[in-house]
Amino acid sequence: MMPRKIAFGENAAKEFEYPENSLIITTTTPDIYNKWLDYMGIKKYEIYDKATPDPAIETVETIQKNYEGKNISAYIGLGGGSSMDVCKYLGKLTGIPKILIPTTFGTGAEMTTYAVISFEHKKKLLQDEAFLADAAIVDPYFLPGTPFNIMRNSACDAAAQASEGYDSNLANPLTKLFCREAFDILEDAIVNDKPNLLPYGAMLSGIGFGNSSTTLGHALSYVFSNEGVPHGYALSSCTTVAHKFNKSIYYERFKRICQKLKFEPLKLKQPLDEAAAVIMPDRGHLDNNPIPVTKQDIIKCLEEIINDNPLA
């Protein structure tokens, strides 16, 4: 599965014909998005800019209520993952088409059937065919404003997703084709300093892993996320160690990407045994890992992550 229409490359967002009376949803501020909207040349639109990172279901419901009966023709999610997640959920509720435009490339979320929404202050990863975009627009125009740290974490996430997705038990020749191509492009973008290639690489990664799954590296990373480590940063060491455990063809290449991005080693406050107990029930990731994983394996991986600096 992938969006019905995909526009990508330089000027993609400028040349796209936006339907009139669209509702743009964004987490950014007018000084930033007014510049974007000028570039896009969009006319006759409504804008909702009160969406926040880690969006809650209440935000989605508020927007639905505020714009009921206003003949909104499409939702346009413009921004990072949060803007797009709100759009995805709204589209599912109302059936109104959605156009997704990522500005902080990395997750490939514009391509997938996943959305992260908080219910009662708990983040939930949801999957639904109804979350799929009607159109996705991937344009490197938005890249230069991205702070280095966000860019670095996103690039690492995209590379982790592509390589874990390649190894996933759910992979097939078509998803592998996307994952392999995504990784080649992302590696070139990062190692050879060609950031303009990142958006396209992340997009391909989204199609590849979105139709297979991520695996052990992602499963390991969430105990670090729970202690506040950004997702992409947590993956630098976690996916490296997971690739080593899986004897992945991507082990050395992924490690080199993380070294180039200069990620620091990770720390964990929680005792390893407790952390392993949190990771073990994550069957969505672990059951798709190419090699079966025991609790003992997880403890060994965590030990390596925090004691041995796997990126050295």
- Footprint of Zn ion (CB under 5 A): 157
Nearer to Zn ion, 49 or 287 (CB): 287
3-state DSSP of 192-225: CCCHHHHHHHHHHHHHHHHCCCCCHHHHHHHHHH
CB 220 within 8 A of CB 242: yes
CB 129 within 8 A of CB 113: yes
Question: Minimum distance between the CB of residue 235 and Zn ion, rounded to whole angstroms?
Answer: 6
Question: Minimum distance between the CB of residue 30 and Zn ion, rounded to whole angstroms?
Answer: 30
Question: Minimum distance between the CB of residue 305 and Zn ion, rounded to whole angstroms?
Answer: 16
Question: Minimum distance between the CB of residue 69 and Zn ion, rounded to whole angstroms?
Answer: 38
Nearer to Zn ion, 93 or 170 (CB): 170
Nearer to Zn ion, 16 or 222 (CB): 222
C-alpha span between 239 and 263 (Å, rounded): 13
CB 225 within 8 A of CB 116: no
How far the first Cα of the chain sits from its last, in Å, is 38
Nearer to Zn ion, 23 or 157 (CB): 157
Nearer to Zn ion, 91 or 106 (CB): 106
Taking CB atoms, the residue at the shortest distance from Zn ion is 157
Return the number of other C-beta atoms located less than 10 Å from residue 234's C-beta. 28
Beta-carbon contacts of residue 118 (< 8 Å; ≥ 6 apart): 54, 55, 56, 57, 124
Question: Minimum distance between the CB of residue 161 and Zn ion, rounded to whole angstroms?
Answer: 5
Residues in the chain: 312
Nearer to Zn ion, 157 or 167 (CB): 157
Question: Minimum distance between the CB of residue 107 and Zn ion, rounded to whole angstroms?
Answer: 6
